Amino acid sequence: MRLGVLDVGSNTVHLQVVDAFSGARPNPTSNLKIDLRLSEFLNSEGDIEPEGIKQLRSAVRQCVAEARKVKSEELLPFATSALREARNGSEIIAALNSEFEIDLQVLSGEEEAQITFLAARRWYGWSSGRLLVVDIGGGSLELAVGVNESADIALSLPLGASRLTKSHLEGDPFTKKSIRNLRDYIESQISEILPAVLQHQDTDRAIATSKTLRTLARLTGDWAGGDGHRLEIDDLRKILPKLSEMSQEERSELPGVSKSRARQIVAGAFVAESVMRSLDIDYLEICPWALREGIVLKWLDWIRQ
């Protein structure tokens, strides 16, 4: 069965097309990714501005057309933090669903964490034991811990890389004052919540699933001698000063750093370091599967019932 997974996120609108069958590994066939930075169109009242809505409609139109072109039998559309938190998010979603005859659903932060956890569990298998899964998106940070396919603890915090860049970082290169303010803010948010909720959760493996964390693992591999398959906290600390001092253009020229993500990778790196330090994690293993794969797996489980 050919499925189209339409991910309306804070950073991109991404269509991933897979051939998937119950009991089989989903096989990617094509994808279309449109950089949008929807969270940057949020105004002071919490509404997505008209230009953001216009660009979102265009992106969804392209993705729906592509899904039909490649003969997707089902389209599984979902939205995350940007539309979830926008004051006019429900209105925008209703209009998109009516115009394109789709069923775009908003995931809660906890649902994001749970579905991403399912993907990691299926990837690593039962023998991997108790997992801690970390995902840093554009709008939010998700964490989940558990030994089964459903996490025992799943939480979401408003610490996404794009959100924090917009709210705290200034200048190009970023000013030292704004970086200090960012670090203090992240620390205050994480130190109040994570240790109390997760610190005493014994885990066998710590897993990273997001593009931000994959990019950081690649950078530490290039700069600090890592293998790119895991993110070591010591290596992350080595590259953070250099990464923070670079201009956006310089970061965009780094391997694996797209022009659209060059500005927000610094905030993502500080979130990653703070999470790992607060939870006493020496390294995160990079998982190829994440939320979109979890959506496919969950849908296959549902139709099999």
Best CA proximity match to 69, nearest among 31, 43, 14, 38 = 31
Tell me whether residue 301 is in a domain.
no
Per-residue pLDDT band at 284 (split at 50, 70, 90):
very high
What is the bridge-based pairing of β-strands 105-106 and 74-79? parallel
- pLDDT tens digit sequence for 92-118: 999 999 999 999 999 999 999 999 999
Residues 6+ apart with CB under 8 A from 68: none
305/300 Cα distance (integer angstroms): 9
Tell me whether residue 87 is in a domain.
yes
Together in a domain, 129 and 210: yes
Together in a domain, 220 and 123: yes
**Mean pLDDT in residue range 144-172:** 95
Tell me whether residue 19 is in a domain.
yes
**Mean pLDDT in residue range 150-155:** 94
pLDDT for the residue numbered 265: 97
Residues in the chain: 305
pLDDT for the residue numbered 128: 96
Judge whether residue 195 has pLDDT over 70.
no
pLDDT for the residue numbered 227: 78
Together in a domain, 76 and 37: yes
**Mean pLDDT in residue range 169-182:** 97
For residue 82, the Cα-to-chain-centroid distance in whole angstroms is 12
Please spell the DSSP secondary structure of 206-226, one letter per residue: EEE-SHHHHHHHHHHHHHH--
210/288 Cα distance (integer angstroms): 9
pLDDT for the residue numbered 225: 76
Together in a domain, 126 and 271: yes
Tell me whether residue 302 is in a domain.
no
Tell me whether residue 250 is in a domain.
yes
CB 161 within 8 Å of CB 211: no
Judge whether residue 148 has pLDDT over 90.
yes
Per-residue pLDDT band at 199 (split at 50, 70, 90):
low
Judge whether residue 305 has pLDDT over 90.
no
Residue 30 φ then ψ, to 5°:
-165, 165
Judge whether residue 278 has pLDDT over 60.
yes
Which runs of consecutive H residues, i.e. helices, occur in the chain? Answer: 50-69, 81-85, 89-100, 109-124, 161-168, 176-198, 211-224, 233-245, 248-252, 265-278, 291-304
pLDDT for the residue numbered 42: 92
- pLDDT tens digit sequence for 49-66: 999 999 999 999 999 999
pLDDT for the residue numbered 200: 56
Compare 101 and 304 and report the one with higher pLDDT: 101
Domain-ending residue, one of 106, 139, 166: 106
Together in a domain, 79 and 228: no
Tell me whether residue 58 is in a domain.
yes
| Number of domains, the chain | 2
Identity of the residue numbered 86? A
Together in a domain, 127 and 84: no
Together in a domain, 98 and 165: no
Best CA proximity match to 3, nearest among 101, 21, 128 = 21
pTM above threshold 0.85: yes
Query: Which domain does 28 fall in, by range?
Result: 2-106
Q: What's the mean pLDDT when you consider all of the chain?
A: 94
Judge whether residue 249 has pLDDT over 90.
yes
Together in a domain, 177 and 53: no
CB 78 within 8 Å of CB 7: yes
Together in a domain, 163 and 237: yes
175/209 Cα distance (integer angstroms): 29
Together in a domain, 114 and 99: no
Q: Tell me, what CATH number does 197's domain have?
A: 3.30.420.150
- pLDDT tens digit sequence for 21-43: 988 899 999 999 999 989 889 99
Together in a domain, 85 and 226: no
- pLDDT tens digit sequence for 69-93: 999 999 999 999 999 999 999 999 9
- pLDDT tens digit sequence for 200-236: 578 899 999 999 999 999 999 988 777 789 999 999 9
Tell me whether residue 304 is in a domain.
no
pLDDT for the residue numbered 299: 96
Together in a domain, 53 and 121: no
176/244 Cα distance (integer angstroms): 9
Tell me whether residue 90 is in a domain.
yes
